[in-house]
Amino acid sequence: MDIELNKETTPVKKNFDFVNTIRCISMMGIVFEHSHIVEAPMYNTVGDTIAEAGVIQFFKFSTVAFFLIGGFLINHKFQEYSANQYLKNRFKNTVRPWLFWMVFFIAITMLDRWVAHSKGSDRDLMFSDFGTYISDFVYRVLFFSPYWFILNFLICITLLLIFKKFLYKYWLGVFFGLISLVYSVNLYFNWFETTHTSALFGFVFYLWLGVYLNKYYATVMTFVKDTQWVMWIFLLILTFSLGIWESVHLIELGSKDAYNTLRISNIIYSFVAFGVMLKIGSIKVLDRLKPRETTFGIYLLHSIVIERVLPLIFQPLKLDVQHYSVYENTALLILRFIIAYSISYLLSALIIKTKLKWTVGQ
């Protein structure tokens, strides 16, 4: 998303360079989280569970940070464009690429299943009831894969547009915040499904908060800069530890979604991590990765790389991950992340140089 500033805000435009740094780090975190090779939690000892929780918690701020940045960037566009104009631009730059790569992912998966079947190694429902198979698969891709968060993001934007007249009202933020907290509390009471697909309105608050941060940018940055580093580091370590504790506690309670992004501890950790990134500001070395141009492409491509490319590398190795230690599986996770991120980045960087650049949101 581009930042379009009016004349009144032009003097602080240079300070928005931190956006690319947060984009880049957050996308790395999202790809890292999706590069897992084992389903968590899976360890029996407390020590191993804490280690697993620590690895997962480290980058768990990424999703909240992305919604905060998303809201931060769309604030001015909400003022400059009508709802119809904005949604038209959003369709061109977001929805079209999203649909293209989701359909591409579904198509190559179908091709893979057909090849496997032709070789006699696949006997699934695809060939006995294709209609049911394809509808179920599309449903899983749309609602149970990383592509879901693009749809979720668009729904959140639409809600903000509906409430555009009240965008800067405190009560609107409180309303959206309470909705998010319902999902947080539900992790303990299981009133409804806890998976991220059920959190249809759980992330609107963070998009709204990003809009609010943009409006009061100067005040926020004054607070961030005036707060000493020792306090930020203390809060980061404290909230990181609380995130680990809550995950372990949820596991002890028998939760099947103990690492949910909307855990109360993780929300607080995400805010602190976001503040730390604001404090750090722009990291010039990350600018070389051109996060503004490549980030959306990486997101759209990384699911395909993880689901279709990584198995070609790791399945022949016949890794017995269920019996590996938490440290061995963490090493595998890091390796898978490096491969997945590198391939996704290179593909995105190449595509933006071609006529297909529209497929990565350019």
Task: Kindly report, residue by residue over 164-221, the tens digit of the pLDDT.
Answer: 889 999 999 999 999 999 999 999 998 888 775 667 789 999 999 999 999 999 999 9
Whether residue 13 is predicted with pLDDT greater than 60 in this model: the reply is: no
In this predicted structure, what is the pLDDT of residue 71?
Answer: 92
**47-56, 194-203, 327-336, 347-356: segment of lowest average pLDDT:** 194-203
In this predicted structure, what is the pLDDT of residue 256?
Answer: 85
Distance in angstroms (rounded) separating the CA atoms of residues 320 and 14: 50
In this predicted structure, what is the pLDDT of residue 133?
Answer: 80
Reference 222, options 271, 169, 283, 275; nearest CA is 275
Whether residue 15 is predicted with pLDDT greater than 70 in this model: the reply is: no
CA 178, distance to chain mean position in Å, is: 21
Residue 265 — very low, low, confident or very high, per pLDDT cuts 50/70/90? very high
pLDDT tens-place string over residues 99-130: 999 999 999 998 887 877 677 665 565 666 77
Whether residue 11 is predicted with pLDDT greater than 60 in this model: the reply is: no
pLDDT tens-place string over residues 234-255: 999 999 999 999 999 999 999 9
361: left (phi over 0), alpha (psi -120 to 50) or beta: left
Across residues 272-283, what is the average pLDDT? 96
Q: Where does residue 287 rank: exposed (0-12), middle (13-18), buried (19+ CB within 10 A)?
A: middle
Q: What is the mean pLDDT of the chain?
A: 89
Whether residue 44 is predicted with pLDDT greater than 50 in this model: the reply is: yes
Reference 240, options 263, 215, 219; nearest CA is 263
Reference 110, options 92, 122, 95; nearest CA is 122
Whether residue 3 is predicted with pLDDT greater than 70 in this model: the reply is: no
Whether residue 8 is predicted with pLDDT greater than 50 in this model: the reply is: no
Whether residue 344 is predicted with pLDDT greater than 90 in this model: the reply is: yes
Distances (CA, A) of 78 to 6, 74, 207, 214, 281: 12, 6, 13, 12, 25
In 163-283, alpha helices (H): 170-189, 204-215, 217-226, 229-252, 264-280
**78-92, 304-318, 339-353: segment of lowest average pLDDT:** 78-92
Is there a contact between 341 and 298 (Cβ–Cβ < 8 Å)? Answer: yes
**What six digits make up the tokens of 192?**
């409804």
Residue 77 — very low, low, confident or very high, per pLDDT cuts 50/70/90? confident
**4-13, 68-77, 183-192: segment of lowest average pLDDT:** 4-13
Is there a contact between 25 and 277 (Cβ–Cβ < 8 Å)? Answer: yes
Residue 12 — very low, low, confident or very high, per pLDDT cuts 50/70/90? very low
Whether residue 34 is predicted with pLDDT greater than 50 in this model: the reply is: yes
Domain ranges of the chain: 10-360
In this predicted structure, what is the pLDDT of residue 1?
Answer: 42
Of residues 13 and 48, the one with the higher pLDDT is 48
**What six digits make up the tokens of 174?**
């409180």
pLDDT tens-place string over residues 299-338: 999 999 999 999 999 999 999 999 999 999 999 999 999 9
Is there a contact between 345 and 24 (Cβ–Cβ < 8 Å)? Answer: no
